[in-house]
Amino acid sequence: MPNICFLGAGSGFTRYLAVDVMQVPEIGGGEFRLVDIDAERLALSTGVVQKVAERVGGGRWTVKATADRRAALRGADYVINCIEVSGTATVRHDNDIPLKYGISQCIGDTIGPGGLMKALRTVPVWLEVLRDCEELCPDAWVLNYTNPMNMLCLAAARASRMRVVGLCHSVQGSSRQLAEYAGVPYAELEWRCGGINHMSWFVHLAHRGQNLYPLLCRRVQESRELWEKDPVRFDMMLHFGAFVTESSGHFSEYVPYYRKRRELIDRYCRAGYLGGESFYADNWPTWRRECDEWRQRVLAGQEELKTERSPEYASYIIHARETHTPYVIHGNVPNTGLIENLPRDGCVEVACLVDRHGIHPTHFGRLPSQLAALCNANMQMFDLTVQAILERSREKAIYALTLDPLTAAVCSPAEIRALALELFEAEREFIPALK
């Protein structure tokens, strides 16, 4: 029976993953260890997970809570990482200082100024966690959900012996959206996807052997209603030949095309997840508070606890490994030649077979050159950021931001340096001293 350690139990992922894992009878039960440094949020989350154990766990699961990470990691079989370093204290800095320089972000947690700063805050703590894992649970699988995904996985590959896979829901979510957009049953959709996290590409998309891209391109061009559902991703599909996995708003931050001038933002970006300016910064503190309020209502019996299994991969990995029931996920892993025309020392997102013996990435081959070039532009920024963190190099952190596609489209190198230094100063409490 597995021992599962959940780091960052105040995360909104906690209830979904607990529901997912505990309702699979074949896993046979085990121990769910919740860890968070915020005592109030840990108590709320623990109460909800205990309700999950009562509702769907069938008495097979023990729930424990602690602020002591090392105690929870000892002997763990799986470590699920959902930490949020600095909470909401830096949200406005990440967004508002770049905006002063003309850089408009929607989410800002994966690349760009916001992604750089989140990596500087998060990766050092993440590496401390992995060092604890090496000592206390060296045989565990570490399942990472925290962004910036690629940079955390890259840092782990370069500085840790732990077995780490990065998990996101953008591949399974986007494939379902594509079935809806194309008007075909999801079970009949044929697809193949690969790239990097938030920039994986559906290089094959078909229904009963027929390529769906001509149909989808025609529909998008003929239907304004369909176009408005995903304008940036549809525009990328029309001009680059494939649909990408991340939402229009988030993806608009990863390329130099859509957010560098106000008229382009107005043309291609919409409210909310479709590209709203400062969307994450304006809403994250509210979402966090509403999550806690929801937990309070559930514990007070004022709201029903839903128990449908989500498409998140964690429970399927645990199920596959514990019962030797093979399952395919799309995971973020080191590029050991899996995607031939992306950097071999980077991390990629590819299909992985999971069974009792572990998580086995599959060979993808080559991405179309134009798609590989877009991924590579992001990967160079990720590479320099991780170098900067491991070496505590101020200059390499600035180089990383200077190579960021959106930042470079808006600012000169001198402006980017000034922006970086202003961010470093504003968040010095939460980032390591850079030399």
Distances (CA, A) of 16 to 197, 305, 375: 21, 10, 30
Distances (CA, A) of 122 to 82, 85, 275: 11, 6, 25
Among the CATH numbers 3.90.110.10, 3.30.450.20, 2.40.50.140, 3.40.50.280, which is that of 89-107+168-277+312-435? 3.90.110.10
Predicted pLDDT at 57: 86
Query: For this structure, is 169 an active site residue?
Result: yes
Predicted pLDDT at 130: 98
Nearest to 75 by CA among 159, 160, 4: 4
Placement of tokens 């600012």 in the chain: 411
What number of other Cβ atoms are within 10 A of residue 92's Cβ? 16
Report whether 34 contacts 45 (CB < 8 A).
Answer: yes
Separation between Cα atoms, residue 405 and residue 111, nearest integer Å: 9
Residues in the chain, pLDDT under 70:
none
Report whether 191 contacts 175 (CB < 8 A).
Answer: yes
Separation between Cα atoms, residue 172 and residue 156, nearest integer Å: 24
Placement of tokens 């699988």 in the chain: 141
- Residue ranges per domain, the chain? 3-88+108-167, 89-107+168-277+312-435
Choice among 169, 204, 207, 360 that is catalytic? 169
DSSP-derived 3-state class of residue 293? helix
Beta bridge partners of 200: 195
Among the CATH numbers 3.40.50.720, 3.30.565.10, 3.30.70.260, 3.40.309.10, which is that of 3-88+108-167? 3.40.50.720
Nearest to 240 by CA among 373, 106, 421, 398: 373
Predicted pLDDT at 335: 98
- pTM of the entire structure? 0.97
What number of other Cβ atoms are within 10 A of residue 195's Cβ? 27
Predicted pLDDT at 92: 98
- How confident is the model over 272-305, as pLDDT tens digits? 999 999 999 999 999 999 999 999 999 999 999 9
φ/ψ (deg, to 5) at 101: -90, 5
